[in-house]
Amino acid sequence: MFSALRQRLRNWLFRPKIEHGTVILTQRRIFILPTRQGWALGLLLALMLLGCINYNLSLGYVLTFLLSMMAVLSMLHAFRNLAHLEIHAGRSDAVFSGQTAKFLLHFGSKLPRYQLILRGEESDSITFDIPASQDYAVEFPLHAARRGWLETGRLTLYTEFPLGLFHAWSYLHFDMRCLVYPHPRPDAPLPTGNAPDGAGKRGIAGDDDFAGLRTYVAGDALPHIAWKAYARGLGLQIKQFTTPVGDALWLNLNDAPETDLESKLSHLTRWVLEAEAQGLRYGLSLPDGELPAGNGSAHRDACLRRLALFDLPPWSAQA
Amino acid sequence: MKITLIYGLLLSILMVIAPHAYHLPLWVSALCIVLLVWRSYLAWSGNPLPKRWLLITLTLISLGGILIDFHTLFGREVGVTLLMLLATLKLMELRTARDAMALIFLSCFILITNFLYSQSLPTALYMLVTLMVIMTNWVHLHAPGIAIKPRLRVAAVLLLQAIPLTLILFILFPRVPGPLWGLPQDAFARSGLDDTMSPGSVGRLALSDAVAFRVSYQGKPPPRSRMYWRGPVLWDFDGHNWTPGRATQGIAPQFSATGRATAYSVTLEPHNKRWLFALDMPDSISVPARLTDDFQLLNSEPVNERLRYEARSRLDYHANLQESPSQLQRALQLPPTLNPRARQLATSWRADDDQAIVRRALGYFNEQNFYYTLEPPTLGRNSTDDFLFITRRGFCEHYASAFVFLMRAAGIPARVVTGYQGGEYNAYGNYHIVRQSDAHAWAEVWLTGQGWVRIDPTAAIAPERVERGLSAALTDNTALPFMSRNPPLWLRDLRLNWDALANQWNQRVLGYDSERQFAYLSRFGMESISLQVIYMTAGLALMIALFALYMLRHLLKREQDKTQAAWLNLCRKLGRAGLPRAPHEGPWDYALRCAAARPDLAADLTDLAARYITLRYGTVSDPHTQREFIRQAKKFPSLRGKP
């Protein structure tokens, strides 16, 4: 009962929801409470006031009042340090599992801001100042532990500027996600079973025959976008072309020697990287479908993406 | 931790402990300085901070030093000393932000203890400067990244914004009449008159420039030679010290006065004793005070804060024409064996009547080779004999003491009166300043039919002392403080101006206590504390809201795009002419449609629309083209609607 009430209060106060676009930190979104140091100063000021009353120190009153009013005003300054800050989420490049993902956040401010701290739910915090500018990008690092989509979760942006007496904070929960590829297994030579030596070797991806559509991946060439498919509401698709020359190297999940899925995926990740590095034409064969053979960084990223998301439920933002 | 922050903290600790240096034991100041220098060296060289055991040893040693010096670990002086040692020792283990915060809090606290010793105007200004240093450190601690200039700016803005709020609080915050707990006896150690007098005790006060009290007379002040401010009355003499002795049952003080009354108000500096000063003889006073049998005014408790009172005195009087025999007996006591020559001299006068004896004694001082000096030779066991017959050099206490001795030996009841004589007129504030250097001692003799009569033997030796002040009376006045000699006129003026300012400060700021607050606020109809609190809260809230509006003004202001405003204005003009813009229409389509409807304006319209599109959606924005566009758009004629 009590905890339910607390949850409702929390929901009303903090309105947890995931946001898109630009967030402006309005008054409603900024919360302020005294810090431990703030309480300590309050105690000190009370002591000082008692001393002033006892010894009738007029100047003591002046000093006590000055200090307490500066403390009160520091609350206003802390609020101002966050108020009307414009924030929107930027891109984040895919990383391999075990690396650190970097989420870009763009800040717009008409005033310089000092000593802002951004903290994730389970991560270290970063501290930064913002000059008065339209767009100031800040990288928020987050350790990518598992493949799949990595979310920032709810971020806390807070400041204790200028005197450390008040903690002013605001919650940010953007629909930010970063793709995390499986960790590439360190030593995994390419499979030789289903492809002869030299098979699939080709300098460039072909562009003679239309070979099908695949989903758009950031970095794909714009002329290859299938605009007609887009108009039909199928989302951004890329037209793929191949030039059939010899056999392609097929990377099959079942060929990986490991027993558990994650290790197999890790193994395949290394194969993809290796094949790309050697300039081979390669295709990906997974239990839920195949990715036609191809070559080039776009193809590599498409393969890695399939591996990253294989057998995971479709992404939905978690509130 | 940044080294600049360490230096800043060192500076602020130095600034808060420096004013304490003059009243603390020398070794404490020396130890603090050594620790500060050591810490700055460590910060500069980057060497590690001292080990914990060393600090603990240092702490124990200084605690031991305090015990030896003060014989206690409690009390105000000890508390202040402990705080200072604590602050400097804490500097030696300054490592984390937490330590820095503790030091900042400590320095605020030490800053306030300074007011126990001085609350003068310069102290207040010094406090502001120190507070600014502390605030800069404080901001530095919580924003290590920002440069010195914005850091100073943030600290200064906080301080400046806090000043009006502090003013509101200072005036309206309900003052509680203190003390809440007993003031320790040493709370206010001040210099001033003592209730014992020995050779040299008044002379020491003459070296002090400190203000004893200030007087403003209602009406014309009396002549200087009649300004005798009565302090402790001394009866008992042991050959060296004069003391008040044990009071015997006297008769109630009474005097008959002739002539007009003199009314005045006195602002007495705290001196930690009960006596109040009034001109001889006071017949009314505005504070509850008791007039003793020997006409001393005693306050109900020691004066340990500045006290202001109104009083009225009669300068021509006959005091206690009837005196009790026990008192008269007391006024004749002398130490039995001491000073045989003085005794002999006085006995030889006994044949004369009382008035003649007094004249002979004064004449003796006048005719023999007596000098009035601040630096008298030391006297032996028979101090009165030595003074009267050998050294013949002395300050007022020597003369008063010797005179009373002679009177008693001659059989005339006499006593010593100490207090202040004279005072300096300050034309800038229309009041008189009485300083410690105006301290004086004189005699009173009881004559039949006249009561107690004031006799000032100093006036017989150095009449200038009474008429013009100490510096006029002393031939060699080098021992006096510079300002008590004859300073240049402009310096004198400056000093009087300054004292007038200090007087205002004392009356308006330092004297603003619960009573004065009530008197002041009730003039504005704020008689109850709750009303006071309401006004205070409202005032603070209003002020803070104003600051908030000011600080957030950049953020709350809507960004006004002048280009767009000019275009929208143009569209309104066209709309009034029967060509309203459809919601779906872009600027170019709209301009084309209007141009088709009004071929006469086509060229202007398409030109303006093209320029608007470049300015608003183009990549380069050039202020000159923008200005030109806005000018042209404004010039566009207001069209009359066509049917």
Q: In terms of domains, do B109 and B207 share one?
A: no
pLDDT top residue among A197 and B17:
B17
Nearest C-alpha in B relative to A56: B178
**Domain presence at residue B420:** yes
When the pLDDT of each residue in chain B is averaged and rounded to a whole number, the result is 86
Read off the pLDDT of residues B464-493 as tens digits, 9 standing for 90 and up.
Answer: 877 777 777 766 555 566 666 667 788 878
Same domain, B420 and B521: no
Q: Which residues contact B203 (CB under 8 A, 6 or more apart)?
A: B374, B375, B376, B395, B397
> Which position has the higher pLDDT, B365 or B166?
B166
- Please give the model's pTM, rounded to 2 decimal places: 0.70
Domain match, B424 and B549 both: no
CB atoms < 10 A from the CB of A26, how many? 11
Is residue B524 packed enough to be buried (19+ CB in 10 Å), middle (13-18) or exposed (0-12)? exposed
Q: For an interface test with A, give the residue of B158, B185, B272 to mutate (most A CBs within 10 A).
A: B158
Residues in chain A: 319
Q: Tell me the CB-side half-sphere exposure of residue B471, using CA atoms within 13 A.
A: 14
Distance to chain B for A83, nearest Cα, Å: 8
| Cβ pairs bridging A and B (under 8 Å) | 149
In terms of domains, do B89 and B138 share one?
Answer: yes
- β pairing state of B393-394 and B371-372: parallel
Containing structural domain, residue B448: 201-484
> Does B47 share its domain with B132?
yes
Which residue among B119, B176, B305 sits closest to A59, beta carbon to beta carbon? B119
Q: Does B512 contact A72 at a Cβ distance shorter than 8 Å?
A: no
Cβ–Cβ < 8 Å for B311, B331: no
pLDDT tens-digit readout, B433-469? 898 888 999 999 999 888 999 999 988 888 887 777 7
Cα distances from B563 to residues B547, B572, B573, B588, B612, in angstroms, run: 32, 14, 16, 16, 7
Residue B103, pLDDT above cutoff 50: yes
Q: A159 contacts in B (CB within 8 Å)? A: none
Task: Using CA coordinates, name the residue in chain A closest to B97.
Answer: A164
Which residues share a beta bridge with B278?
B230
Q: What residues contact A162, with CB distance under 8 A and at least 6 apart?
A: A74, A77, A78, A81, A114, B138, B139, B142, B143, B154, B155, B158
Output the pLDDT for position A197: 45
Is residue B108 in some structural domain?
Answer: yes
Q: From its phi and psi, is residue A64 left (phi > 0), alpha (psi between -120 and 50) or beta?
A: alpha
- Mean pLDDT for B194-219 is 84
- How does pLDDT run across B578-607, given as a tens digit for each residue? 888 887 788 888 888 888 888 888 888 888
Which CB contacts under 8 angstroms, 24+ apart, belong to B590-598? B598/B639
B80 and B39, same structural domain?
yes
pLDDT at B512: 85
- Nearest CB to A73; choose among B138, B158, B554: B158
Residues of B in contact with A116 (CB under 8 A): none
Q: Which of A70, A80, A114 sits opposite B143 (nearest CB)?
A: A114
Residue B494 included in any domain: no
The whole-number pLDDT of residue A73 equals 95
Count the domains in chain B.
4
User: Does residue A269 contact residue A181 with C-beta atoms inside 8 Å?
Assistant: yes
Is B499 contained in some domain? Answer: no
Mean pLDDT of B127-139: 95
Three-state secondary structure call for residue A170? strand
- With an 8 Å Cβ cutoff, is A46 touching chain B? no
Same domain, B537 and B569: no
So what's the pLDDT on residue B558? Answer: 63
Question: What pLDDT sits at residue A244?
Answer: 47
8 Å CB contact of B178 and A60: no
Whether residue B369 lies inside any domain: the answer is: yes
Same domain, residue pair B552 and B570: no
Chain B neighbors of A162, CB-CB under 8 A: 138-139, 142-143, 154-155, 158
Choose from A114, A158, A166 for mutation: most chain B CBs within 10 A: A114
Task: Answer whether B512 sits within 8 Å of A53, measured CB to CB.
Answer: no
Question: B639 near B580, Cβ under 8 Å?
Answer: no
Whole-number Cα distances in Å, B437 to A260, B229, B308, B616:
100, 13, 21, 82
Q: What are phi and psi of A187, to 5 degrees?
A: -125, 110
Stretch among A31-35, A217-221, B52-56, B380-384 having the lowest mean pLDDT: A217-221
Would you call B154 an interface residue with chain A, using a CB distance cutoff of 8 Å? Answer: yes
Touching check for A135 and chain B: CB below 8 Å? no
Chain B closest-CA separation from residue A198 CA (Å)? 51
Contacts of B517 in chain A (CB under 8 A): none
Residues of B taking part in catalysis: 396, 440, 456
- Of the candidates B434, B467, B484, which is a domain's last residue? B484
Nearest to B158 among A83, A84, A162 (CB): A162
- Residue B250 is assigned to a structural domain of this protein: yes
Same domain? B376 vs B400: yes
Does A131 contact chain B (CB < 8 Å)?
no
Instruction: Kindly report the nearest CA distance between residue B162 and chain A, in angstroms.
Output: 5
In a domain, residue B410? The reply is: yes
Give yes or no: residues B572 and B588 share one domain: yes
Residue A35's CB is within 10 A of a number of other CB atoms, namely 15
pLDDT at B266: 92
The answer to whether A87 faces chain B, any CB pair under 8 Å, is no
